[in-house]
Structure 1
Amino acid sequence: MDSVQGVSTSPAAAVFKTRLSKFKYAKNPENTERNAKTPVKIQQRTAKHTRPIEADVAETAIASSPRPKKRRAPSKYADPSKYAHLSPLVDILEPNLICVFVGTNPGVQTAAAGHAYAHPSNHFWKLLYTSGLTDRRLRPEEDRSLPDLYCMGNTNIVERPSKDAAELSKEEMAAGTANLDAKFLKYKPEAVCIVGKGIWESIWRYRYGKNMTKADFKYGWQDEKDNMGKADDEGELDATGEIWKGAKVFVTTSTSGLAANLKPAEKEAIWKPFGAWVQKRRVARSFMPKAVANEGDAEQGVAA
């Protein structure tokens, strides 16, 4: 047994310590010195997905660019009372005109101005000029001089003003078609120019009781069966004493600034054949423009 002071050790304990020393970790002086001089490389953990620089650039561009404009909410039917404070336009009609333009209805700004196609974004007066229907670009305030200067007139399928055509009802458009036929039977123009596909679709729906198909529609001159203002019998005569068969129909594009389905050059190409035809008819009739003394005379107009 070992003494209390730990001076002597038993033989068994000595043998155990000898065996245990075999498993003791021995430091290598060379390794210790080398490890002390060599810095330990620590591998840093990298992100699994590195964010590309392009993403930061794209986000910066998006942040600096203006927000896209909100899309205009579609219109829906509006009761006539909504625009009761606005007056309808005066029809510009006279007997035996070469042509009469047919619009949908007066817009709010047009009704407030009291002149046809008065909205600054509308291209009606520009297209009349570029197609040869007028020899200069008229101002909306000159609309009532159309008969005297160019043997042309203007009316609408619906009289009451609204923000756009979506605020009108199908019943109004149908009733407007009947009114147009009555006007054209009374004044007997050689031709009517429908200013917009939607107007012709409404007239077609009223006449044939069905929607127009893609195969049914075409810009330009329509078939004789589609003439407007035809009489119920063949006893009606035109200004030349011939049997009145109704006014020929030419369908052209809308002139609204919102109608962007066709490019300006495409619209002009559709309008030009009608301009050329009207010019020929003026020559054939030996039409001479009447002098319009001043703007006040044009304001008087000719009411339907």
Structure 2
Amino acid sequence: MAMASPHASGGARPSRADLEAARNTTLPDLLGPGVRLLICGINPSLWAAATQAHFARPGNRFWPALHDAGLTGRLVDCSAGMSAADREHVLGRGLGITNLVRRATARADELDPAEFVAGRERLAGLVAELRPAVVAVAGVTAYRHAFADPRAALGRQDRELAGAQLWALPSPSGLNAHASRASLAAAFAEAGRAAGLPAARPLP
């Protein structure tokens, strides 16, 4: 799999051609020293791969939920790519982002079950290296596939991963009609507290 080059539109949102060119490419993890909460998405969307920014697709509620949860001090907008200032801010908050499956697709149902198992093994190695306090998989169905646990519920799991607490959180995708922005924020805030992350700002 090739890594996607940042789209040629330079600070603008990707075109349809940019999105198609991003298919099956990869997106680098967003990691730095001192990661306390490692958030694991399912796999990059075409939009995320084209912009080289996690959860970048408009309509994805990831960044608004993190802001509402107090995990970021400002609302991050990655729809045209992530700025250096936002990257520094997110890493400085003790947050890291990776994906179970590295290749970009238009929909998660394009992935093969074996890819989730391979992703779990890669994730375990990453956690052993980084030593975060909490690993939160953003998507309970993806968690069930990756960890062969078809009855897993949302929240903290009974098992650990390389010494880290393991959580299953709702998917922030706009396609997940079961979760609201408020319920997503509450779930992320709970995982953040478990990781020992203080709120970036006073919460209402």
TM-superposed CA distance for 1:83, in Å, is 6.2
- After TM superposition, the structure 1 = structure 2 runs for residues 260-271 of structure 1, keeping only pairs within 5 Å, are 260-271=177-188
Matched with 1:259 is 176
Change (3 A) 1:270 1:199: same
- Structure number, greater radius of gyration: 1
Residues in 1 aligned to 2:131 and 2:175: alpha-carbon distance in whole angstroms: 32
Change (3 A) 1:270 1:256: same
Identify which of 181, 184, 197 aligns with 2:140: 197
Gapped runs of 5+ residues in structure 2? 1-19, 200-204
Identify which of 160, 165, 189 aligns with 1:227: 160
Task: Write the letter of the residue equivalent to 2:129.
Answer: K
- The answer as to 2:47 corresponding to 1:104 is no
Residues in 1 aligned to 2:173 and 2:75: alpha-carbon distance in whole angstroms: 17
Report the structure, 1 or 2, having the larger helix content.
1
- The answer as to 2:74 corresponding to 1:157 is no
Report the structure, 1 or 2, having the larger strand content.
2
User: Cα RMSD (Å) of the superposition?
Assistant: 2.4
- The answer as to 2:88 corresponding to 1:145 is yes
Task: Write the letter of the residue equivalent to 2:174.
Answer: G
- Give TM-score, length-normalised by structure 1: 0.53
Residues in 2 aligned to 1:264 and 1:282: alpha-carbon distance in whole angstroms: 20
Q: How many residues align?
A: 176
Change (3 A) 1:167 1:99: same
Q: Is the 8 A contact 1:191 1:248 kept in 2?
A: yes
Q: Give the secondary-structure state (helix, strand or coil) at the position aligned to 1:192.
A: strand
* Superimposed CA distance per residue, residues 204-230 of structure 1 (whole angstroms, 9 cap, x where no aligned partner): 21xxxxx512xxx2222222xx211x2
Comparing both chains, which one has the higher relative contact order based on Cα–Cα distances under 8 Å and sequence gaps of 6 or more? Answer: 2
Change (3 A) 1:264 1:93: closer
Identify which of 71, 80, 84 aligns with 1:133: 71
Gapped runs of 5+ residues in structure 1? 1-81, 206-210, 231-245, 284-304
Task: Write the letter of the residue equivalent to 1:160.
Answer: R
* Superimposed CA distance per residue, residues 76-115 of structure 1 (whole angstroms, 9 cap, x where no aligned partner): xxxxxx8676631111223441111100111111111111
- After TM superposition, the structure 1 = structure 2 runs for residues 67-106 of structure 1, keeping only pairs within 5 Å, are 87-106=25-44
